[in-house]
A and B are shown apart, each in its own frame.
Chain A
């Protein structure tokens, strides 16, 4: 777009998108090639898939916590409804690509619907009702799953779900989802959501329909949690209510807080690390909660804004600095994406 700083050459927006798209496609093809050619063993592949799923869970929760500034405590609930919805559909449909896409969309839509049902009453109220209501929601969903064995398979679980979540399915979905969240946030709608986090009264007085945008952000957050749930169903092939406990919600929240509220890159990195560690180190799992507590306290003391604060990684910004010959100079202007 136009230059706001004289003499600072900028890469046009469309070119930025093109560069990013090409890079990501290359990575996808490369990753797929490595996996298809047997470059990684089964356990490693499982880690890679789980990391992708948790990245989407963290990034989607970040929409409601980091961007909107609310504190939902039932993200696993949205993940659960998405997972079960997709699983049931996949079991009924043939194993075709269109069925995979349909299942992912259905998972998201069902979760978003639940998001609306909870979000509309909870977000209209001023105050911290959302935390309590979402907490209740997460538990209710789990109890419902246990008590509706006819549909959900109950406590033993829903079995023999088609394993649709291949490397390509997971990572194309994750990348597309992250891209869509990014483009939403970099629009007038996204700015309205951020404005609410920054100062709700000022946002409302500036003409932002705060209720609408809170519900929107919350529903978007739920939608992508549902999509991640669907990926999860297609990855494990079996769903039990134990997969979607309060601890799962907290787990995702820890990723977002550690990564930095409002930083997509932070969520991604934290999700990757915190998914990898427990799988790699058996002993980590035993002390997981202790380690999380220590980590959280350390972050709160030393860097309350999380690993990356509100910084978001941007390849094109680095390229811009490079073509302007100031790659290693401290930026004199704000270099933040969503902040």
Chain B
């Protein structure tokens, strides 16, 4: 039985508008993410079909499913890497249609990538600083001529970067090139960089991939810690069922682009449709 953080103890999932469930503690507020009937086609292939999901303001949500189910594609739709064919996404009550990726980041969404995308030949610290892309007003000339604004920004970003790196014990590696980090640290750095933009919703695409069980366990604690500390919602894609069942409050199961089940970990674990989807995958191997 995984140990739950303070918040989880009281957390019960309650239905909202008949569209989905969110944690009871978030029920008074509108959901951070409200996705309705999202579809996307790649040529003839419907990679995501009629995807409807609500995520509460401080929820840890899981998106699972067999390989090729369309999970990463959902993240790409949420961050406007792809344009949906149909449907709409409300982030914090705001329609994300037509927004560029960096505008969405400003609106409060940050993500990591399944295939790590760090700024490999920049230092760990600089990777994090790139994430701090808003809230600073020093202009190009201020920085070129080293006016007071530059000194202020550099100091603020430096202090903040080390604070964030410290959450994942990466402070000692601040001056290392990101490309030289071991694999697990690269995954952690991606999370730190995403946090640097102060998101309201953090999307993690297979954060535990390539980690050993003890690293994964530490990661679970860290994800809960992030939620508690920053009061944010986290949506994660993961194949590691211990992690998903251990920390997610609401889970959606995707198969061939469609949601085949939504519910609490308990409900998902005992859902025959889910079991079949996974067993079917096992049998096919």
Contact = CB atoms under 8 A, between A and B. Distances in A.
A207 B197 contact: yes
Given A184-B143, A207-B102, A333-B176, A202 B162 contact: no
A227 to B, nearest CB: 14
Contact of A334 (B81, B144, B155, B176): B176
Contact of B102 (A1, A184, A187, A208): A208
Interface in A217-246: none
B111 interface: yes
Interface string A36-72: 0000000000000000000000000000000000000
Interface string A10-44: 00000001000000000000000000000000000
Contacts, number: 125
B122 to A, nearest CB: 6
A210 B100 CA distance: 10
A206 B176 contact: no
Contacts of A339: 121-122, 177
Interface of A is mostly: helix
Given A205-B105, A206-B110, A336-B177, A188 B121 contact: no
A203 interface: yes
A191 B140 contact: no
A32 B100 CA distance: 52
B121 A198 contact: yes
Contact of B144 (A180, A204, A210): A180
Interface string B156-181: 01110010000000011011110010
A284 B162 CA distance: 52
Interface stretch (B38-46, B49-57, B126-134): B126-134
Interface string A160-201: 000000000000000000001001100111111011001101
Contacts of B130: 191-192, 195, 203, 206, 208
A334 B177 contact: yes
A180 B153 CA distance: 18
Given A2-B158, A192-B130, A339-B121, A205 B110 contact: yes
Contacts of A188: 129, 132-133, 136, 138, 143, 153, 157
B158 A206 contact: no
Interface residues of A, number: 34
Nearest to A194: B122
Nearest to B153: A188
A336 B157 CA distance: 19
A5 interface: yes
B171 A4 contact: yes
B154 A333 contact: no
A75 interface: no
B69 interface: no
Contacts of A183: 143-146, 150
B106 interface: yes
B90 interface: no
A310 interface: yes
B152 to A, nearest CB: 11
Contacts of B140: 184, 189, 216
Interface size class of B (residues with CB under 8 A): 35 or more
Contacts of B162: 2, 4
A131 to B, nearest CB: 22
B129 A207 contact: no
Nearest to A184: B144
A207 B81 CA distance: 13
B143 A187 contact: yes
B101 interface: yes
Contact of B150 (A1, A187, A194, A336): A187
A209 B106 CA distance: 10
Contacts of B117: 199, 201-202
B193 interface: yes
Nearest to B194: A206
A205 B143 contact: no
B79 interface: yes
Contact of B197 (A190, A194, A206): A206
Nearest to B146: A183
B118 interface: yes
Interface in B163-221: 171-172, 174-177, 180, 193-194, 196-197
B120 interface: yes
A225 B197 CA distance: 35
B242 to A, nearest CB: 28
Contact of A206 (B100, B120, B133, B171): B133
B125 interface: yes
Given A198-B119, A201-B81, A210 B175 contact: no
Nearest to B161: A4
A5 B126 CA distance: 16
B121 A210 contact: no
5 contacts: A5-B172, A17-B146, A206-B196, A207-B133, A339-B177
Given A201-B81, A206-B133, A207-B105, 10 more contacts: A2-B158, A4-B172, A5-B172, A188-B133, A192-B130, A198-B121, A203-B130, A205-B110, A207-B197, A334-B176
Interface of B: 79, 81, 100-102, 105-106, 110-111, 113, 117-123, 125-126, 129-134, 136, 138, 140, 143-146, 150, 153-155, 157-159, 162, 171-172, 174-177, 180, 193-194, 196-197
